[in-house]
Structure 1
Amino acid sequence: MNASSPLNFRWPHWYHRQKWIVYFHFAEIERLASGLQREFTISVNDYQFTKTVSLEYLKPVVVVSTPVNTSLVTFSIESTNESGKPPILNAVEVYAVIELPNVPTAQDDVKAINDIKATYHIKRESWQGDPCVPRNYTWDGLNCSYGNPPRIISLKLSSSNLMGEIVSSLSHLSRLEYLDLSDNQLTGAIPETLAELPNLKFLNLSGNNLIKSVPEALKKRVVDNTLNMSLTGNPNLCHADPCPQKKKQNTILVPVVASVSGFFVVLFGALATIWLIKWKRKAGSSERTLRLKNRPFKYGEVSRITGNFGRVIGEGGFGKVYLGTLDNGTMVAVKILSKSSKQGYKEFQAEAQLLTIIHHGNLVSLFGYCCDSKHMALIYEYMANGNLRQHLSGKVKMHPSEDHPKALTWSKRLHIAVDSAQGLDYLHNGCKPPIIHRDLKTTNILLNEDFRAKIADFGLSRAFATENDSYVSTCPAGTPGYLDPEFQSSGNLNKKSDVYSFGIVLFELITGRPAIMRSRDGNTSMHILQWVIPIVKNGDIQRIMDPSLQGEFDINSAWRVVEIAMSCTRSTAIHQRPDINNVLAELKGSSVSKSSGSFKMTSLELHSDNAPVAR
């Protein structure tokens, strides 16, 4: 109350910082007599910062200090000689200045990626704040280089439901090396400005609805081996420039030639119609279209694209799989049927026929086939990260630079589960009549560069005779450990048989263990359900979680996936197991929560012999 006495403050000493900024808030709340004014001087830490303030009635004033270097903040507010009133302070904020450990991402890249986000309405939880820093919170689908400043070098937006034309902002990511926009709904022409990205080495625009011709500048870079480009699955895109015009048929023809030509047209048209009707009846052409990119290869061509079968990337009962490269630079996997194949000609042919009429972002695509008197081969899209079983067993490195294999994170496992369920849902509910895979397992779930999962190996698949059928009678076939016990006993195959196999895949994702677990000496074996069910019934989920996760998983999310897997592997198919579309919806809701990871013991009733009793 004494106008001559200053207000003195000391910030609590337990905050040990070296640099501070202080915000002072003032407002005159007293009506002063005419000629009087409240005026005072602020001083912070022995005059490191000073400022004189005059107040007017009910007019707020905010004073921000310059950064002051000290381990203890002190400040005083003292009336000036001209003031007839004591000093006041309405509010104060003291901020510790913490230097950022990383330089922010280059502003040109930030602006470009935010334009891309806005144009395509991308709503991903991680797409907030700085795209590249901190490193542990890089936006999903981005990779960055960490120079000064960080730059975006990789953008993977495959199967992200992007619509519209290819946005021009992409060409402003000047350090971009890898761009994947495959399996979206992009339209319009390919911008020539993409060829101006000096560091771009990989461009994947396959599986869209692009039109017009491929820019010459991009084709030149492919020829110069400075760019690997994939454009398959764009039926209206032409590789010539300008696009060739359809020639008008000459109406003045020799009558004999016209008659012969007409005969063959009618003949081939009739044969094509019969073939299509046959496939419509068997496979439901209303939701499947013949993909124009599926073309026949000669055996010599297969040998050339594989470098004379130089690199084996896989092997199964059918034979070996080789790495190949098409003329446009697209990498492919070439599956060769060996003479001693356990799979056989019929299964190999069935897979080729099936993959020419179905297409989904979570099914491996077929680029072509070879079928002559001595050789059979299927040419697939190349899946750079191998199969899921390899990663769960720790037999493959995620990146060549790693010294040791790195475990799949819980988040990646959830994404793989959702991707696989989407592929299976398409077979069961998107195809008319439905298709049963019959051999779903972790070795038939392949992973691309971005760890997106796609189902492969359709040699044992079966289509229902009609859309309304509920089962197919066939001899039991598949892989031990994944076979539906009800199907084994009855021989009646239905969609729920695939659901059982998918439940086993979920348990492998959870535990990291194979479907059939063998003892160290190899003399005894145990099915994964025999091991996991008693533990889950006791509510001890920690014991079944893959040790390679090192405890880094969300407990509530893990429980939910366990419950889904349990429901998929119930003993009775029709009445107890869910449809795959219900499983998919549940998996999408099981994403990692932001909770602390604690969980509460609650009763759990699943109406199943396999169900856990509590968690």
Structure 2
Amino acid sequence: MDGGQILLSYIKVWVILLLLSATFPNSKLAAKNTEQDKKRKLAAENSGISIDCGADEDYTDRNTGISYKTDKDFISTGKNKVVAPEYDLTSTLYYGKMVNSLRIFPEGDRNCYTLKPREGKNQNYYVRAFFRYGNYDSKNQTQIKFDLYIGVNYWATVEETFENKYWINYDIIHYSVTDTIYVCLVNTGFGVPFISGLDLLFMNDSSYRSMNGSLLRRVQADLGGEVSLGTIRYPDDVYARIWQLDVNLTDSVSNISTEAITNIDIQGSDNRCRLPVEVLRTAVQPRNGLKSLSYTYTSPYKENFTPEFLVFFHFAEIEQIAGGKLREFTITLNGLKYGLFTLEYLKPLTIGPYKLQDQEGLVRFSIDASSDLPPILNAFEIFELLPLHDSPTNQTDVDAIMAIKKAYKIDRVDWQGDPCLPRITTWTGLQCNNDNPPRIISLNLSSSQLSGNIDVSLLSLTTIQSLDLSNNELTGTVPEAFAQLPHLTILYLSRNKLTGAVPYSLKEKSKSRQLQLSLDGNLDLCKIDTCEKKQGSFPVPVIASVISVSVLLLLSIITIFWRLKRENSTNMLNWRARLQIAVDAAQGLEYLHNGCRPPIVHRDLKSSNILLTENLQAKIADFGLSKAFANEGDSHVTTVPAGTPGYIDPEFRASGNLNKKSDVYSFGILLCELITGQPPLIRGHQGHTHILQWVSPLVERGDIQSIIDPRLQGEFNTNCAWKALEIALSCVPPTSIQRPDMSDILGELKECLAMEMSSEISMCGSVEMSLVLGTDMAPNLR
């Protein structure tokens, strides 16, 4: 038989075997596939976001079942690249296609991925970033260095030597205090930053949580496995952790393993860190009858501080021990002894986390037998605590600047991530103070090709001192509400296309040198008094001092309460006018609390003390019960409880401790009145019912139509109404610490008003939205 016939015979045998395997599938292989499907289903319950940076299209990895997304919806800068053909790893198990593409960032000092997990803020997340150079630029670079940030805080310096064939990854367990998580690459001048992949996974496990900072993964060691089997990760691990064999123990230990542990065995057991079955099935024990296991880890990332570590030990007794014996041991960690610990057959046990600090960055442990049986160890983890020195920018300011960016379609490379932090890469044209969290104090959008009206979101920057909108194409009127920004000292609006009259209050602040106002170059803007609309004798901004109240009371005014009780629908306040009144009142109260030095608490906020000018601008009046703090830093004033029944803060009434949040409670009741048309104490056959008792069951039923004042005849935006009600109810918890600050309430109400105005435009089409939040705004009567 010649070589050709032999080869043909082999081919025939191979085809027969292939057909047989298709007809009679191997039961062990089928069972394995079924087990993999179960793992993937379990892992899917903890699904998060997996991004193949630089990929052209979404796909599902055939080996892991991970669904990868392109990064086009997460970042708007950078360029897509692929590794050199000789470094293609498409067929590699677990990683493959994901590490063949990358995105590079040759422009900008900071480029940020924006991740918005569905679980939102105040949650734990496992975040991992992959980096692989792969000679994408044909330059054979051996070292590139740039910084990696999580949120506003430093995460790591990507500076390891890149071998074209391999990749590196950085893992962190991050407790996010915001709904949005930024992962930013910062150019430090040592090569173009790049990234290959990014994973974010919800990690609802208190064992890994640290409120004092994030946890950097330093070691995730699987012990006792076979090197040929590679690493263990998704879908075997529901958190997509990467378990690697630790070779530092191989010389002094022997491996043991079992196939007895299954997913069923670990259900309901002490597997609080949710270790994969594959990790628990293997372990190491000392060789040659020794009774101790020891290990030393040295951190290569020591900085100018003493590192703090968290250490977890994971055990599972995988040997059946005759004679009723038990494996018992103690753990000595950096000189401190813990235990006695006892293992039970096939029952996982996690010990830790143990916290420790070491100036040398060392973690040393030994596991010592306390019975005749040697100790074992299945896996261990070492995390280093990453202090979170900086808090994200004040959320009200972030929401405002993001709305401004969207409204004016601002497309600047460096307008990514947090606007104020890190300070070395703040947004151009924007300055922040040094508070923690920081606030925006200056915004320069001069010559930025802005068009349209002056956006209402600019008025939410309540700490801004300087605003430059000059040299643009802005149209519409100048909002009088600029005069109500307590810290604004510079306002440049020159060389635009603004129209109408300059608000009286802005001119007065300019004349008194409280405001540097520039309006030149607006040809259709009238600056003289004769072109102004008729106004009251004293068109002042929201209360500047208690002394001015006597002047305000001389205005020709009407009260909200009287307006709400009128029987004519023609003269009744519509929904938009009510929101405007709420914004005006909130601005006045916010000024008393945060703009006055020292702060003032009104103490008798109610509907009859909110007065309206002839064009429906709301003013706070009657300061007879007001109290000023003795010093700016005081938190409360002790006084005899006073006020109007129905509006009085229950905590103040019980304790006599008056603070700013007492006014917040009263404002919440006032807002409920505006929404429902009901008084704070509703008269009934069996006495009076408080408005909160009346509204609560309707809220639980989700019955917004029965909550809103029926005299509005359904003419309101439902989403806006719910938001307004949520704002009102956020003001009235029984304890003051649960209530928001007036600055936050004001920001939320402005968003609510903007929502309503936007809704009117979409419904009417021809309605022109006025962004003026002052005396020029009147309700549309329907």
Shorter-chain TM-score bucket reads 0.3 to 0.5
TM-score relative to the length of structure 1: 0.39
Task: Give the TM-score normalised by the residue count of structure 2.
Answer: 0.31
